[in-house]
Structure 1
Amino acid sequence: MTGLVRVRDRFTTGATTRRDPRGDPRRAPRRPRPAEVPLRHRVLTCSVLAVAAIYFLVPVYWLTVSMTKSSSGLFGTFGLWFSDPRPIERLHDVITYDHAIYVRWFLNSALYAGVGAAAATLLAAAAGYGLAKFRFPGREGVFNVVLAGVLIPSTALALPLYLLFSRIGLANTYWAVLVPSMVSPFGVYLCRIYAAASVPDTLLEAARIDGAGELTIFRTLGLRIMTPALVTVFLFQFVHIWNNFFLPLVMLSDSDLYPITLGLTSWQGYADRQPQLYQYTVGGAFLSVLPLMVLMAALQRYWRTGLTEGSLKA
């Protein structure tokens, strides 16, 4: 009876109580508060974070300042401060130079990165979900091959890919960059690990009992629960494709198909004969960073966990 009284009091009063054999209630002792972090540790942590922030933000600040200068101002003035700033005029010159070739490069990069990252994310989600939730002969072997693909650098595959695409007549086309960008071994690995840890098997069984097909379960449950992993894969793949230089360099020879990275490099190569291209290269690099910043700010709200909390009863 004493144990029953203790359980009843705990759920009715909301406080943890206990009774002695004579029936006198006594409040359980409070847990000690965790010790506060020493001041020197907090100062050290803040100092390290401040140094890291400066390390990453100074290049962005330099790019922002240099974008407002002329070609002569890039070399004749202090690099970390403004000198005759005209940002709108400088960016207009970048966009309109050579019949707005920069706009075409920008759209090419958006096509390569947007379509490639979206397709890679969907394929990685399907492959990772299948490897995590279905048992079939050779499953671990397939996953080991995926892990091997993560370890192989992409530059080592550029030349074999070029020979293959040349053989089938797709070299120097949009497909030469798009098709390799649709494969992400790291995305498959991440989705497999995340699906195994976050997608409950009991939830899938309940959906099957209700008559849902496997494709419907994957589309309505699997993709939604795996949203944080999918956002991570999309961002990583988008940034990788957007900054990719070697694959377009090997695959493309037509300047109209260049992405921003290859286009800015070609400008820099001609800058010795046309000095204004120094300023155009800096301005183009500044514009190329903006989509990544916007994408990160827009998608970070999907970076959260606990999407299935409360969906199942213990």
Structure 2
Amino acid sequence: MASRDAATSSSPTVPSPPTTTYTVSSPRPRRRGGRKRRSTPLTIAMLAVLAYFLLPLFWLLVASTKSSQDLFNSFGLWFSEAPQLLTNIKNTFAQDGGVFTHWLLNTLVYALVSSLGAALIAAAGGYGFAKFRFRGDRAAFNLVLGAVMVPATALAIPTYLLFAEMGLVNTPWAIILPSLVNPFGLYLMRVYAEDAIPDSLLEAARIDGAGEARIFFRIGLRLLGPGLVTVLLFTLVATWNNYFLPLIMLNDPGLYPIAVGLSSWAAQAQNGGAGGGGDMVALVVTGSLISVLPLVVAFLLLQRYWQSGLATGGVKQ
């Protein structure tokens, strides 16, 4: 018994393995100060740009609510004590026997016909350049790119001489026909058609026996919708605000667009002509506000069509 205890006591002691302690560090909180410092200048720049675009519209709205006397004697960026917007609108439409209504309708006809025709022509031309190959296609497209660089005012006098030979001066066609040519719109539609219309979809339609005209009107125009709306809006704004071409093409005040008509009223205001200088200034300001509203409505109604990628998923890969 004693020997067993001695053997047990004399046996070597095995040391236990060392215990390792792991320390889990908590994640460092993200510093948001740098992001705020980076976003603050962008926010300030955005607000400055927003004020740059909205301040003239706000001044136009404020000035349209003032009388001719308050327009010059009150603070320009705030309303007067007795706003008379409805009175100014009534006087604008009643001036010179209601000629402002004719100007507004003329502008609406010029802009709608020109924008729809220019968008359709640009879509057809861009689709042809993008999906067909023919002799001289690159040279023709380069000619279109060169036409983009030519300002429209440089072509106004040659266009007048050409239309005078054709007997189209002082007619609505003198405004509509030049507006149908939109080189930038054709370039835009060509670039858009290359990606928006898959070639495999066109080949499938040809195999099914569809003609080229049917393919374009039934397939191409639907896929070119966003680009078509973009060209339509650009042409609509350009024709609505066109001043120099109608100025040299039209002699009849009954055919004036709203830009030329308001310019004639502004000239009467400076010269103190019929209606009185101060009264005409109020009418010009109110007429300018009315002329802006259709463009704002057009952008609000058509902005949802400014989307791309309608052809995504149209063809299985």
Q: TM-score, normalised by structure 1?
A: 0.87
Q: Report the counterpart of residue 245 of structure 2 in structure 1.
A: 247
The answer to whether structure 1 residue 290 and structure 2 residue 293 are counterparts is: yes
Q: Report the counterpart of residue 238 of structure 1 in structure 2.
A: 236
Inter-partner Cα distance in structure 1 for 2:310 and 2:63: 44
Provide, for residues 91-140 of structure 1, a one-character-per-residue CA deviation record: whole Å limited to 9, x for no partner: 01101111110000001110111100100000000010001101100101
CA displacement at 1:63 relative to structure 2: 0.2
Inter-partner Cα distance in structure 2 for 1:294 and 1:185: 26
Inter-partner Cα distance in structure 2 for 1:85 and 1:170: 45
Inter-partner Cα distance in structure 1 for 2:311 and 2:176: 34
- Secondary structure of 2:236 counterpart: helix
1:197-208 paired onto structure 2 within 5 Å: 197-208=195-206
Inter-partner Cα distance in structure 2 for 1:165 and 1:311: 46
Q: Report the counterpart of residue 79 of structure 1 in structure 2.
A: 76
The answer to whether structure 1 residue 66 and structure 2 residue 69 are counterparts is: no
Inter-partner Cα distance in structure 2 for 1:182 and 1:294: 23
1:265-304 paired onto structure 2 within 5 Å: 265-272=263-270, 273=272, 274-275=276-277, 276-304=279-307
CA displacement at 1:312 relative to structure 2: 1.6
CA displacement at 1:89 relative to structure 2: 1.2
Inter-partner Cα distance in structure 2 for 1:262 and 1:89: 23
Deviates more, 1:301-310 or 1:99-108: 301-310
Inter-partner Cα distance in structure 2 for 1:77 and 1:55: 22
Structure 2 runs not aligned, ≥5 long: 1-30
Q: TM-score, normalised by structure 2?
A: 0.86
CA displacement at 1:313 relative to structure 2: 1.6
Inter-partner Cα distance in structure 2 for 1:291 and 1:239: 10
Deviates more, 1:269-278 or 1:155-164: 269-278
CA displacement at 1:221 relative to structure 2: 1.2
Q: Report the counterpart of residue 112 of structure 2 in structure 1.
A: 114
- Secondary structure of 1:38 counterpart: helix
1:77-226 paired onto structure 2 within 5 Å: 77-83=74-80, 84-226=82-224
Q: Report the counterpart of residue 43 of structure 1 in structure 2.
A: 40
Inter-partner Cα distance in structure 2 for 1:235 and 1:41: 35
- Secondary structure of 1:202 counterpart: helix
CA displacement at 1:57 relative to structure 2: 0.4
CA displacement at 1:211 relative to structure 2: 1.4
Provide, for residues 162-207 of structure 1, a one-character-per-residue CA deviation record: whole Å limited to 9, x for no partner: 0011111111111111110111011100000100122110111111
Aligned AA (1:309)? T
CA displacement at 1:45 relative to structure 2: 1.4
* Matched-pair identity in %: 49
Inter-partner Cα distance in structure 2 for 1:100 and 1:210: 57
Structure 1 runs not aligned, ≥5 long: 1-34
